[in-house]
Amino acid sequence: MSTSVKPNLANKELIRDGAFVAGKWVTEAAETFEVTDPANGEVIATLPDQPVTIVDEAIDAAYESFKTFKNTIPRERATLLRKLYNLMMDNAEDLGKIVSWENGKALPEAIGEVKYGASYFEWYAEEAPRIYGATIQPSNPSNRAFTVRQPVGVCGIICPWNFPSAMITRKAGAALAAGCTVVIKPDSQTPLSALAMAYLVEKAGFPKGTFNVVLSHTRTPEFGVKLCESPKVKKISFTGSTNVGKILMKQSASTMKKLSFELGGNAPLIVFEDADLDTAVEQAIASKFRGLGQTCVCANRLYVQRPILDKFASLIAEKVNKFVIGHGLKEGVTHGCLINSKAIEKVESHVQDAIEKGSKVVVAGGRLPELGPNFYAPTVLSNVPQSARVASEETFGPLCAIIPFDTTEEVVKCANDSNVGLAAYVFSKNVDTIFTVSEALETGMVSCNTGLFTDCAIPFGGVKESGFGREGSLYGIEDYTVIKTVTIGNLPKRL
- 441: part of which helix (H) or strand (E)? none
262 a catalytic residue: yes
Instruction: Provide the 3-class DSSP secondary structure of residue 442.
Output: coil
46: burial class by Cβ within 10 Å (0-12, 13-18, 19+)?
Answer: exposed
DSSP class of residue 494 equals: P
Q: Are 241 and 160 in contact (CB under 8 A)?
A: no
User: Annotated catalytic residue: which of 102, 127, 262, 478?
Assistant: 262
Question: Is residue 377 within 8 Å of residue 325, measured between CB atoms?
Answer: yes
Q: How far apart are CA 118 and CA 84, in angstroms?
A: 8
Q: Which one, of 265, 238, 246, lies nearest residue 396 by Cα?
A: 265
Long-range contacts, stretch 34-38, CB < 8 angstroms, 24+ apart: 35/102, 35/188, 35/189, 35/190, 35/191, 35/192, 37/5, 37/101, 37/102, 37/104, 38/102, 38/103, 38/104, 38/189, 38/337, 38/338, 38/339, 38/340, 38/374
* Residue 260 and residue 249 in contact, taking contact as beta carbons nearer than 8 Å: no
The answer for residues whose C-beta is within 8 angstroms of residue 166's C-beta and 6 or more apart is 113, 114, 116, 117, 120
Per-residue b or e along 271-294, where b marks 16 or more CB atoms closer than 10 Å to that residue's CB: bbeebebeebbbbbbebbbbbbbb
In 3D, which of 28, 479, 37 has the Cα closest to residue 259? 479
Q: How far apart are CA 379 and CA 400, in angstroms?
A: 6
Instruction: List residues with catalytic annotation.
Output: 262
